[in-house]
Chain A
Amino acid sequence: MTAASLPQFPWLTLLVMLPLAGALLCLLHGNRTVESRWLALATSLAVFGVSLYLFFCHGDGGSGWLRYEDVSWIERYGIRYVLAMDGIALLMVLLTAFLQLAAILLAWRVEEKASYFFALLLLLESGLMGIFLAYDLILFYLFWEIALIPMFFLIAVWGGENRRRAALKFFLYTLAGSLCMLVAMITLYQIHGDQSGTYSFVIGDLLQTKLSSTQEVWLFAGFMAAFIVKSPLVPFHTWLTDALTEAPAAGSLDLTGLLIKTGIYGMIRLAFPLFPNASRDFLPILAVLALFGLFHAAWCAYNEDDIKRLLAYSSISHLGLVVLGLAAWQLTAWEGSILLMVTHGLTTGALFVLVALIRERTGTRSLQELGGLWGQAPYLSAMFLLFSLASLGLPGLANFAGEILVLLGVFQVHPVWAVIAFAGVVFAAAYMLRLVQGTIWGPAKVKRTLPDLTAREWLILLPMAILVVWLGLYPAPFIAPLHGTVAPLLLGGMP
């Protein structure tokens, strides 16, 4: 608690509040498209700057945290405004800030109700930052819902043809899950309060709760309902394919890169540490769900004609691998999973960007109608190839490091799982190659001259490409913050 008493600059609050302020300013700008565009860019640049600062200047928030901010909020009910950052949160914050920048550049040409669009994007960023940093259950729930609302509007207003249905499905699925979580949160709070006499929603306090095994299972189920739907594991994944397909380009980027990661992050941060015994018992089921998802989604991806939908399935498939790594409950696997979360955000995010660019140019997303882009737009195709290869886990590119760590870790604990998962990874190569083949190789089916990458598009893709190569060749700086964080989590505690 020494950290709270030290007066220090509230960097974490800044991360949450800057986008919020930007969103409000954008809203006030009403119909002035240009101003709101620059405003959004400036805001997200500032947030990115802050997150970079936090990455390079590791603070010490005391008791194992990199940063810790604690302010009284609703004292009577033990609800506090606590933001805390450990290594995992640091990586997620960095990824959020980076992808958000890309999303705003990608949305640069949005003309229709642009200021609302940017306001929603920034609001989403604020919610995501909050999810990754909150260390109080009510605060977490607050941000969890805040992140939901802008995405709902982004899909529903600016989305594709079936946007209304997709948006409603997204909203109802995820909210139904999170309401279960809310009941579990209040129940846990009550049990803890009755035991210890001090009622508190701060996660650190709740860790000490002693639960009977039935209580633990039910509460764990409540939390996991929200996280499994959000992740999404396979029986509950249909909202994601619809939402990803219908969302506008920037929305798809945020959805696949960040929003679905919040589910996995929630498992790591809340469900596993709060209910260690129940989660230990649940691991085999989780692994089965993950493996099933890995294959089912890969199979769907292989048979899909719409390239955006194909990528949506590939996302689900990759997340299956991430969850499998968590289910192994082993240090290497966990580090691999977290790294894979980050790299998947980059590679698949970049692929969604490219799909949007291809769609803009050719007017189609169907594999049947595409082909031969290499001859018409070589740079774009090269980028597409690079990120596709990265996505299927080519050694030397981003996903490889994560995947290999996950497989290694899983192999040490459950060799059978690892073998099955490996087959799944090979499967990924099949559908990614099919995607590449159908899009950039073969005879050109769209008989028009297609413009290659513009300066703005280079600006989005080049940093992503550099990071993808960097993460593939030398991931150490990004794994380093995880070292101190993951090990205690596995032992059932928090930093």
Chain B
Amino acid sequence: MNDLVQNALLNVNIAAILPSLILVCFGMGLLLINVFLPRGTTRHAVWISLIGLAVTGFFVYTGWGNPQYGFNDAVAMDNFAAFFSITFLVCAALTILMSDDYLRREGYPVSEYYPLILFATAGAMWMASGTDMMTIFLGLEVMSISLYVLAGFFRGQVKSNEAGLKYFLLGAFSTGFLLYGMALIYGVSGSTRLTEIGVYLKTHASLLDNPMTLAGLVLLSTGFLFKIAAAPFHMWAPDVYEGAPTPITAFMSAGPKAAAFAAFLRVMEYCFFTLKPEWTAMLWVLAVLTMVVGNVIAIRQTNIKRMLAYSSIAHAGYVLVGMVAANEIGYSGILFYMLAYTFMNIGAFAVLVLAGKKGEDNLTLEGLSGFGFKKPFLGVAMTIFLFSLMGLPPTAGFAGKFYIFAGAIKAGYIWLAVIGVLNSAISLYYYLRVMVYMYFRDPEEDYAWVAMPGAVVVTIIIAIAGVFYLGIMPGEVMELAKQAVF
């Protein structure tokens, strides 16, 4: 027993968890500070959490190219984790920037909101850096529990309550599947560490046909696919996205989704590389299903948040195409795409935040009538984000789709790429419809749009810059993404 303790202590490597540790410290500190300040003061919380994210980002950045492993190989802060961490941090920072004014407008200027975002981000980082099923599980739960609260944050609004409760029940349900899958895999391989499982499965080839292995793989995938909101496990997403506060919807559809992809990717690549033909075949079907379901149902939506929820399902489908490709360009395409998606999706939601008015989100297509000319800046910004979501050059969305489909073609899945491209064509229809309403419908007279607070404008400008940078000069970031994949 003494040996065990000593062994564990020797394996402590703070550097491996330093960034997320800092983030959690900032979150805790913020909670403490909040106790001493009168309710309703939130500006300090915005600044402190932004500083926290920046400091964390700095440590992630300095750790690039210098992977840190620790805690008996349960945590690996390698380039893969670092790249995803940057995505989460960007996502969190943009969300925080756009939140403050929205919370005030809706009558919830509560500073506990910000630590929750920081905790969710830290959880996402553990998911991306977890190399042990336990770490991944813990990260997933830290992230999810924070998100349950955030989704139901407007406790006086029935919609928000419902979103929170629904997300909680289905999230916990899917966690059950994930855990059962983990338990079965543990039973097969005798370890919870991803690399050991992979080695064990490789050396014991007879296990590959064992129903317990396959059941474990399927259950584990189900858990992740729930979080990713891939069809047919997507049912929760539109409801939760519609009901949750708009900035949280933006956050959920980018950061946590990327985290689930990160963990999914690592588990599949570390543990189940011997079963690659099986799981790529499974994901092939799911990718097609997800793209089609997301795009086709999105066409029928009249609420923009709901439409973007379905569109986000479709985008998960595109990313799954990258996983099916399972080669270097496909995987680095996933990393690139999630970063690109973060910028364009959060940008679109930030515009929506300013399209609403108090108490009433005004997020139907009708509500946007004439928006483009009444608010030229927001109109142009929304147009850019929509073009990026469509995947038109020279935006980030095009570059991302390009890499992912190139990966699929390189791996020989030409039909999958064709289906993906056809799906992009379907998606044009509903994205264009938003523009049609924005520019070609006359606005209702004397409609009072909300003012444009500086922080949200900054969010939008950063997002535009990101969309164009990744779209026009994707080379450098893609180079980093290449270094980040296994």
Direct contact of A and B (CB under 8 A): yes
Chain A residues positioned under 8 Å from B424 (CB to CB): 179
How distant is the Cα of A141 from the Cα of B409 in the complex, in angstroms? 18
Stretch of A83-91, A149-157, A333-341 lying at the B interface:
A149-157
How distant is the Cα of A149 from the Cα of B395 in the complex, in angstroms? 13
The size of the chain A interface, using a CB distance under 8 A, is 32
Among B392, B410, B475, contact of A74 (Cβ-Cβ < 8 Å): B475
Interface string of A175-203 (1 = CB under 8 A from B): 11001101100110110000000000000
Among A74, A142, A186, contact of B409 (Cβ-Cβ < 8 Å): A186
Interface string of B456-477 (1 = CB under 8 A from A): 0000000000000000011100
Chain A residues positioned under 8 Å from B432 (CB to CB): 168, 171-172
How distant is the Cα of A74 from the Cα of B474 in the complex, in angstroms? 7
The answer, yes or no, to whether A204 is at the interface (CB within 8 Å) is: no
Chain A residues positioned under 8 Å from B410 (CB to CB): 190
Question: B425 near A168 (CB under 8 angstroms)?
Answer: no
How distant is the Cα of A77 from the Cα of B333 in the complex, in angstroms? 12
The answer, yes or no, to whether B478 is at the interface (CB within 8 Å) is: yes
Ranked nearest first, the 8 interchain pairs of A and B with the lowest CB-CB distance are A74-B475, A142-B393, A179-B421, A176-B425, A145-B392, A186-B406, A190-B409, A183-B421
A-binding residues in B (CB < 8 A): 373, 376, 380, 387, 392-394, 402, 405-406, 409-410, 414, 417-418, 421-422, 424-425, 428-429, 432, 436, 439-440, 473-475, 478-479, 482
How distant is the Cα of A175 from the Cα of B321 in the complex, in angstroms? 21
Question: B475 near A179 (CB under 8 angstroms)?
Answer: no
Question: B440 near A156 (CB under 8 angstroms)?
Answer: yes
Closest chain B residue to A144 by CB distance?
B393
Chain B residues positioned under 8 Å from A141 (CB to CB): 393
B-binding residues in A (CB < 8 A): 27, 30, 73-77, 113, 138, 141-142, 145-146, 149, 153, 156-157, 163-164, 168, 171-172, 175-176, 179-180, 182-183, 186-187, 189-190
Chain A residues positioned under 8 Å from B414 (CB to CB): 183, 187
Chain B nearest CB from A30 CB (Å) reads 7
Chain B nearest CB from A198 CB (Å) reads 15
Interface SS majority for chain A: helix
Closest chain A residue to B428 by CB distance?
A175
- Known contacts A171-B432, A183-B405; decide if A156 and B422 are in contact (CB<8 Å): no
Among B418, B440, B482, contact of A183 (Cβ-Cβ < 8 Å): B418
How distant is the Cα of A153 from the Cα of B402 in the complex, in angstroms? 25
Question: A146 near B475 (CB under 8 angstroms)?
Answer: no
Question: A172 near B429 (CB under 8 angstroms)?
Answer: yes
- Known contacts A142-B393, A186-B409; decide if A153 and B474 are in contact (CB<8 Å): no
Among B393, B409, B417, B422, contact of A146 (Cβ-Cβ < 8 Å): B393
- Known contacts A74-B474, A157-B439, A164-B436; decide if A180 and B421 are in contact (CB<8 Å): yes
Chain A residues positioned under 8 Å from B402 (CB to CB): 138, 182, 186
Question: A183 near B417 (CB under 8 angstroms)?
Answer: yes
Closest chain A residue to B403 by CB distance?
A77
Q: List 9 A-B contacts (CB under 8 A).
A: A77-B475, A138-B402, A142-B393, A149-B387, A153-B439, A171-B432, A182-B421, A186-B406, A187-B409
Question: A186 near B417 (CB under 8 angstroms)?
Answer: yes
Question: B376 near A156 (CB under 8 angstroms)?
Answer: no
- Known contacts A172-B429, A186-B402; decide if A163 and B440 are in contact (CB<8 Å): yes
Given known contacts A113-B373, A183-B414, A186-B406, what 19 new A-B pairs fall within 8 Å (CB)? Answer: A74-B474, A74-B475, A76-B478, A77-B406, A77-B478, A138-B393, A141-B393, A142-B394, A145-B393, A149-B392, A156-B436, A156-B439, A157-B439, A164-B436, A175-B425, A183-B405, A183-B417, A183-B421, A186-B405
- Known contacts A149-B387, A164-B436, A183-B418; decide if A73 and B409 are in contact (CB<8 Å): no
Chain A residues positioned under 8 Å from B422 (CB to CB): 179
How distant is the Cα of A97 from the Cα of B238 in the complex, in angstroms? 49
How distant is the Cα of A74 from the Cα of B394 in the complex, in angstroms? 13
Closest chain B residue to A182 by CB distance?
B421
How distant is the Cα of A175 from the Cα of B421 in the complex, in angstroms? 11
- Known contacts A146-B393, A157-B439, A187-B414; decide if A73 and B475 are in contact (CB<8 Å): yes
How distant is the Cα of A172 from the Cα of B427 in the complex, in angstroms? 10
Chain B residues positioned under 8 Å from A156 (CB to CB): 436, 439-440
How distant is the Cα of A73 from the Cα of B405 in the complex, in angstroms? 20
